[in-house]
Amino acid sequence: MILKLRPTVIGGETAEGDFVVVHEGREVGRIRKTEDHVHGTEAHAWTITVPLPLAAWSHGSSANLEAAKEAFRTAWEQFYSSLTPEQIARWHHTQDARKPPTT
């Protein structure tokens, strides 16, 4: 399963360590650098962001980017393998409806 990272763009701006996760051309998650406020150390938060009901394990935090990518991949593979064709169609329909119209 191929997952790609690309910089997150919000309001035309990007932030260091902030990525959108892409699967088959669709945005499916986000991984971003953050801070572990309890320990005062850098961390990387990750989350699945598809417009479907998500389990508690669909997000988390890891000590570094590589660990976050691996944790996301594990969660994504579990989540994606559980989807029915109908759920995938609903996800695609909902996600496509959110796209701004092209002129």
Q: What pLDDT, on a 0 to 100 scale, did the predictor assign at position 46?
A: 97
What pLDDT, on a 0 to 100 scale, did the predictor assign at position 102? 66
Report whether pLDDT(32) > 90: yes
Mean pLDDT for the chain overall: 92
State the average pLDDT over residues 72-89. 96
Domain spans in the chain, listed from the N-terminal domain onward: 3-98
Average pLDDT over residues 66-93: 96
- For 92, phi then psi, to 5°, come to -60, -45
Task: Kindly report whether the global pTM for this prediction surpasses the value 0.75.
Answer: yes
Residue 45: closest CA among 56, 34, 57, 58: 34
In single-letter form, the type of residue at position 72 comes to F
